[in-house]
């Protein structure tokens, strides 16, 4: 542990040498699971806790301008190689810098985890805990893709770059590339860079707007980057400051002219996640807030902090599936958990009248999958409890179907309690359509657009015709079937929701690594296994609850149909 504290001290010195200012917080070790975090040290009157110059950020533009990697990466972009994008550049940079003997980023990289909790790092036995879940297949596909990319492009390229750097001895491995990929996905932020920072030629009248530095410091050169909106979805990220003026001339508005870039910001990226954020980060383009132009700063959203309290941001409203897949942790009873349900595209070929239905699906811009947030259940037939923010709930289903232009199809009696998205239901209506219903849809659309096909019906008109002909019964029956299949898959290898609950109750204490012992004998559950069980139990619970909603809606729909027919 003493060595770890020495690494931290060296890193903090490196931050300060490169212009970072820890004004009202410290970076400290949390625990074996979270690593380091940011902790309050004193009150900040302006709420600014930490300031980091943007030229310390690792971004795709930095990679393109890097003396060692730049020319190779620019050449790959010029040749239009499909696998080369912003994220590839970042992962390549991290892989190379990890292996370089004299990397100027060593003091930062030494502070990063060497292993991660996402399923790509699971042992074979731990991965088996995910069988039957969406994550199991996704992890298999992702690892296969990364292996292909590593052997097809990364391995030889990294070796070539190391030799150019004068290192012919270091050996690159897949674990190095996997480490780089995990560092990026667990730590990258969406940075709204001021346009003048990305394209400094606009501000050439400011000779020294960005300081030149040594190789261990950010350079002034920046290239173009694709707009990218991904990574950690923090609750707030905006460019501060008004229009920039130089010698009285208005050059641009930094509020409007921003370039979103994914990147790593040393220092700020040590902030951990909490559902209710106590701080957020923002970009100060002019220096009007922090006194440091082109900087990112950490801002408290509380009036004051107790000393030594951990300061957290929110990565966004993410379910356990996404948290485990990207970041390697889960939250028990996660209020943002969700269930993903999909109809396999390949199965359409085997259904009756597949060609006609495929055309209708295309005309409706059909959604073949849907995400069902837990919060939808607050508005269903069997709400678990009253939601405190029902009026603000953006997850409430908006029923937009244009009910019956002929008046023959009545608005369902249950419409205000139906929690399933209309986009997905209209897809299921089309797939479940009988021959007579298909004929009726064709007739309705022909009446609408004419026999000569003078125009194409809009997607809204096709949806309305499908609703008129089919109603909800067929779609809801298909949805019930899909949810039954999902539950069968989830329970096949790991048993019921009750089984998972019993396992978690038996293993109340978690260890950081598999096979740890208690009192020299009793093995505790590994953290990876615990996360897997929490995640899959949540999936089983949501499947059960949404299945109950679908079955009840189906019964009401059949009842409405029988009433109409009588």
- The confidence score (pLDDT) of residue 422 equals 94
CA distances from 525 to 186, 495, 530, 532 (A): 24, 18, 7, 11
What is the distance between the alpha carbons of residues 354 and 435, in angstroms, rounded to a whole number? 11
Give the pair of three-digit tokens for residue 295.
Answer: 């900087």
What is the distance between the alpha carbons of residues 40 and 271, in angstroms, rounded to a whole number? 12
Model confidence over 284-329: pLDDT tens digits? 999 999 999 999 999 998 777 788 889 998 888 999 999 999 999 9
CA distances from 96 to 92, 115, 333, 409 (A): 6, 17, 40, 64
Q: pLDDT per position in the chain (566 positions), as tens?
A: 678 889 999 999 999 999 999 999 999 998 766 789 999 998 778 899 999 999 999 999 999 999 999 999 999 877 777 678 899 999 999 999 999 999 999 999 999 999 999 999 999 999 999 999 999 999 999 999 999 999 999 999 999 999 999 999 999 999 999 999 999 999 999 999 988 888 775 444 444 333 323 333 433 333 333 333 233 443 333 333 333 232 333 333 334 678 899 999 999 999 998 888 889 999 999 999 999 999 999 999 877 778 888 999 888 899 999 999 999 999 999 999 999 999 999 999 999 999 999 999 999 999 999 999 999 999 999 998 644 444 444 444 555 454 555 556 788 989 999 999 999 999 999 999 999 999 999 998 888 877 666 688 889 889 999 999 999 999 999 999 999 999 999 999 999 999 999 999 987 655 544 444 444 445 678 999 999 999 999 999 999 999 999 999 999 999 988 776 65
Q: Are strands 310-311 and 35-40 parallel, antiparallel or unpaired?
A: antiparallel
Burial 211-227 (b: 16+ CB within 10 A, else e): eebeebebbeebbebee
Residue 347 three-state SS: helix
What the chain holds in terms of domains, given with CATH numbers, is: 1-194+260-326 (3.90.1410.10), 337-383+399-511+524-565 (3.90.1420)
**CB-based contact 289:217 (threshold 8 Å):** no
Measured in degrees and rounded to the nearest 5, phi and psi for residue 65 equal -100, 0
What is the distance between the alpha carbons of residues 508 and 522, in angstroms, rounded to a whole number? 13
Radius of gyration of the chain (CA): 28
């Amino acid at each position: 542990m003493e060595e770890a504290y020495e690494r931290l001290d060296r890193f903090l010195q490196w931050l300060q040498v490169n212009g970072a200012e820890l004004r009202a917080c410290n970076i400290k070790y949390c625990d074996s699971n979270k690593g380091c975090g940011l902790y309050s040290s004193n009150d900040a009157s302006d709420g600014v806790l930490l300031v980091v110059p943007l030229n310390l950020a690792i971004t795709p533009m930095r990679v393109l301008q890097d003396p060692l990697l730049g020319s190779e990466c620019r050449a790959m972009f010029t040749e239009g190689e499909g696998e080369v994008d912003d994220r590839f550049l970042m992962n390549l940079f991290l892989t190379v810098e990890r292996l370089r003997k004299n990397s100027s980023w060593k003091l930062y990289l030494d502070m990063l985890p060497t292993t991660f909790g996402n399923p790509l790092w699971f042992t074979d036995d731990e991965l088996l805990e995910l069988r039957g879940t969406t994550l199991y297949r996704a992890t298999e596909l992702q690892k296969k893709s990364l292996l292909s990319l590593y052997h097809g492009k990364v391995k030889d390229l990294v070796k070539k770059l190391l030799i150019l750097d004068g290192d012919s001895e270091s050996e690159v491995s897949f674990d190095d590339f996997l480490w780089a990929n995990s560092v990026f996905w667990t730590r990258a932020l969406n940075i709204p860079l001021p346009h003048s920072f990305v394209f400094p030629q606009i501000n050439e009248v400011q000779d020294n707007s960005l300081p030149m530095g040594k190789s261990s410091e950010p350079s002034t050169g920046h290239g173009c980057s694709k707009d990218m909106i991904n990574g950690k979805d923090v609750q707030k990220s905006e460019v501060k400051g008004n229009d920039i003026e130089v010698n009285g001339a208005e050059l641009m508005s930094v509020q409007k002219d921003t370039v979103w870039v994914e990147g790593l910001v040393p220092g700020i990226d040590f902030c951990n996640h909490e559902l209710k954020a106590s701080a957020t980060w923002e970009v100060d383009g002019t220096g009007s807030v922090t006194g440091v132009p082109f900087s990112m700063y950490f801002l408290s959203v509380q009036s004051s902090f107790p000393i030594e309290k951990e300061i957290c941001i929110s990565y966004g409203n993410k379910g356990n599936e996404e948290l485990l897949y990207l970041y390697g942790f889960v939250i028990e009873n996660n209020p943002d958990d969700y269930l993903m349900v999909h109809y396999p595209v390949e199965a359409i070929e085997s259904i009756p009248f597949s060609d006609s239905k495929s055309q209708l699906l295309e005309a409706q811009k059909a959604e073949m999958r849907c995400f069902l947030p837990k919060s939808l259940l607050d508005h269903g037939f069997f709400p678990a409890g009253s939601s405190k923010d029902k009026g603000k709930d953006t997850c409430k289903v908006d029923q937009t179907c244009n009910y019956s232009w002929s008046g023959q199809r009545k608005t369902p009696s249950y419409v205000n309690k139906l929690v399933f998205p209309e986009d997905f239901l209209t897809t299921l209506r089309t797939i479940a359509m009988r021959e007579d219903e298909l004929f009726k849809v064709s007739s309705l659309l022909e009446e609408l657009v004419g026999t000569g096909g003078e125009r194409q019906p809009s997607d809204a008109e096709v949806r309305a015709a499908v609703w008129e002909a089919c109603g909800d019964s067929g779609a809801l029956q298909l949805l019930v079937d899909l949810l039954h299949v999902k539950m069968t898959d989830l329970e096949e290898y790991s048993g019921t929701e009750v089984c998972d609950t019993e396992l978690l109750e038996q293993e109340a204490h978690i260890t950081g690594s598999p096979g740890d012992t208690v009192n020299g004998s009793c093995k505790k559950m590994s953290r990876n296994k615990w996360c897997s069980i929490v995640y899959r139990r949540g999936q089983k619970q949501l499947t059960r609850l949404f299945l109950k909603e679908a079955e009840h809606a189906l019964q009401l729909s059949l009842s409405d149909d029988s009433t109409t027919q009588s």
